[in-house]
Amino acid sequence: MSGKVVVLLGPPGVGKGTQGVRLSRDRSWAHVSTGDLLRAARKAGTELGRRARAYMDRGRLVPDDVIVGLVREHLRTLPAEQGVVFDGFPRTVVQAEALEAVLTDAGRQVDRVVLLDADAELLVKRIAGRRSSPNGRVYNVYFDPPKAEGVCDETGEPLVHRPDDLPATVRARLDVYHEVTAPLVGFYEGRGVLTRVNGEGEMTEIQQAIAGAVGLSQAVAGSPVLA
């Protein structure tokens, strides 16, 4: 039997990565973050990483053909029975159609798309406060601080700011989201698989709402599922 395929959709800083880790972790699902794959390619100094850098540092999207090729290759490495959570992909209608084609070939489909949303001011504050460990663990100086300032709890390494988290780049990323990615809301509504979850709540509360939306457990009373 094929595992579930879930897409986390939403603007920069809304918590896709945070919730993608939580949803995948306890179930041994694959968490496929195109942002993380691109950052790993940059760190490794590959041709893909060099090509992606110019787009990422300006807050622009990396071209569809590059992203679709990257995801297609990555999916080949995953067993068909493993659940998958996509975070930051698809981000354009072209990418969504390509994902459908790849999944159809594999006898799979997008089972649920969870749209997380939050007020723009809160998104900017979350991004301003985000600090990342080289091991991938993400903190927030306002909402989820490490035990010792500036240092990863798990590895003791210094925490860093993402290069694309500068204020001007964040504004560009938000504009790109509204222009190019937001149309996916209508795309997935048309397919009857979209659930909206309020991304402004507490992390665990949102996690429960997403689990409920995906059909993994009942959403708790008063949880932030909107439709």
Chain contacts with ligand AP5 (rule: CB under 6 A): 10, 12-18, 34-35, 38, 55-56, 59-62, 67, 88-89, 91, 95, 126-127, 129-130, 138, 140, 143-144, 164, 173, 203, 206
126 is catalytic: no
62 vs 84, beta carbon nearer ligand AP5: 62
173 is catalytic: yes
Per 3-state DSSP, the chain is made up of helix, strand and coil in percentages (nearest 5) of: 45, 15, 40
95 vs 195, beta carbon nearer ligand AP5: 95
Catalytic pick among 4, 126, 130, 196: 130
91 is catalytic: yes
Catalytic pick among 4, 39, 108, 173: 173
16 is catalytic: yes
CB of 168 to ligand AP5, least distance (A): 13
Tell which residue, 188, 212, 185, 203, has the closest CA to residue 14. 203
Could you tell me whether strands 84-87 and 30-33 are parallel, antiparallel, or unpaired per DSSP bridges? parallel
25 is catalytic: no
Catalytic pick among 4, 91, 112, 126: 91
Token pair for 71: 């995801």
Give start and end residues of each alpha helix (H) in 26-160: 34-44, 47-56, 64-76, 93-105, 120-129
CB of 160 to ligand AP5, least distance (A): 12
CB of 1 to ligand AP5, least distance (A): 28
CB of 174 to ligand AP5, least distance (A): 9
Partnered with residue 26 across adjacent β-strands are none
In order of 31, 36, 46, 76, 193, the CA distances from 43 in angstroms are 19, 10, 8, 22, 35
Token pair for 15: 């918590």
81 vs 143, beta carbon nearer ligand AP5: 143
CB of 107 to ligand AP5, least distance (A): 23
4 vs 130, beta carbon nearer ligand AP5: 130
d(CA 223, CA 206): 7
In order of 27, 90, 98, 129, 160, the CA distances from 150 in angstroms are 30, 32, 40, 11, 8
User: Could you give the residue numbers annotated as active site?
Assistant: 16, 91, 130, 162, 173
